[in-house]
Amino acid sequence: MQNILFIMTDQQRWDAMGCSGGWVDTPNLDRLAAEGVRFTRCVTTSPICVPARLSLATGLYPHNTGVWRNVHHTMPPETDNWMRELKRLGYRTSVFGKTHLHPHVGITNDELRGAGAAVPRFDLRDKEGLLHAWGLDDVNEIGGPRASAHMLSHMTAMWADKGLLPAYQEDFAQRFSNKPHVVRPSTLPLEHYADVYVGQQAKSYLEQYDRDEPWCCWVSFGGPHEPWDTPEPYASRYRPEDMPEPVPRSADDDTASMGMLQRLYEHPGTSPQFEPGEIAAMRANYAGNVTLIDDQIGDLLNVLEARGWYDDTIIVFTSDHGEMNGDHGLIYKMNFFDGSVRVPLIVRAPGRGLPGLVSDSLVENIDVGPTLLELAGTRPQHYQFARSLVGALDGGEHRQTVLSEFAGEVMLMDHEWKAVVNNAGVVYQLFNLNNDPDERRNLAGLPEYRQEANQMRLQMLETMLKTQNQIK
């Protein structure tokens, strides 16, 4: 059996690679794309962390799991998932980085502001038994950038021992009490920055691996998730003036029925009043974080080559959701514009597929699980709706439509149209992707497009009905 390296980032846009957008240097991801298959139209099943990650683990949609938001949800220990199935197949499984398949809680931001060098009360290391139950043998879990300010892990305990944690906590408390989208380097030195920690821990693990079993190593970076705190020298790697311009917000939107999107438009935390140059600065810092992660991926690839594993290792790369970075006047995610809902996906499977293929087939990031299983020689044994991508590695069509869900709202996309329905069943966004790839003109509500809106809404309902069964 071939080894498996599953690389995942958090909040990485589909176009934030050299091979997809051209504004970020990612030589290692570009190499994987050149040797494997890059899917250009991969959509997350939910544009926010917890439901997206739960769906990716289980192959079930939010309307199956009932988890539509970032709620304090714990994936039950008995939950069937692709990790457990690989373990049953004989793999030694491991995870380094963020899972967010159980609550990441601790002291609050208010407590941080009042406590100075507060001692976190929640310790991720106490949850390792839960991850073992999911099928993960070797565990070094971290929280995301925000959660790491208020919970312990192997990483943050190291920060505390080195005296780095209080400054990190104070920096976060100040950012989110003043201007969350501020751009400034992390208080952490580069060698202790979270994404470097994850990359180097995984590197050390693979360098020292001496078991007879094939391995499946899940490397789950916490970046380039905001805040925009990339450390030097990556913080200065890109010039703001070289960054692509954001997609402007449409002045033609009828916001009366816009549901969640209208709330994002009206909230200063997600739709800030940007000062001149702030969006470009965010994008440059974000690009620096992506390149930092790419360099860590390069270290992992070097280990595979040094140990003679590279030509016999399946490598898959994706992200849980995107980041708006100023598109449509928004930051973060939680909407169905491309910047939020569209993610990168690369599958490099030695001996399978057409190397260098760029596929425009519609795919969902939950399709990673059954893809890994089929490449390992089996198929999902549990009840789920994800589909293996193996048949698409030779250029075959994968899905006719893709679905994404958040906060009771649903998006359906095919090769021509994207439609979003609010929780009252009203189509409030409709884009013709062929004529308007940047999603600048919302056609929802226009009489001449009523037929297309109704057709997409009915197809959406049909798709959800076909996948309505709950977990068995």
Range of the domain at 295: 3-399
What pLDDT score was predicted for residue 68? 93
Low-confidence ranges of the chain (pLDDT < 70): 106-120, 252-256, 469-472
Closest to 323 measured CA to CA, from 307, 310, 342: 342
CATH of the domain at 362: 3.40.720.10
Domain-located, residue 209: yes
What pLDDT score was predicted for residue 9? 98
What pLDDT score was predicted for residue 258? 82
Which residues are within 8 A (CB) of 435 and not within 5 positions of it... i.e. 6 or more apart? none
Domain-located, residue 44: yes
Closest to 133 measured CA to CA, from 184, 81, 63, 97: 81
User: Going by DSSP bridges, is the β-strand pair 215-224/402-406 parallel, antiparallel, or unpaired?
Assistant: unpaired
Domain-located, residue 425: no
Q: Identify any residues that bridge with 220 across adjacent strands, giving them in sequence order.
A: 8, 97
Tell me the torsion sign for CA atoms 215, 221, 222, 225: negative
Domain-located, residue 470: no
User: Going by DSSP bridges, is the β-strand pair 417-421/409-413 parallel, antiparallel, or unpaired?
Assistant: antiparallel
67 neighbors 56 (Cβ within 8 angstroms)? no
Rounded Cα distance between 330 and 340, Å, is: 10
What pLDDT score was predicted for residue 355? 96
What is the residue type of 98? K
Q: What total of structural domains would you count in the chain?
A: 1
Domain-located, residue 360: yes
- 397 three-state secondary structure: coil
Domain-located, residue 322: yes
Domain-located, residue 242: yes
> What global pTM score does this model have?
0.95
Domain-located, residue 406: no
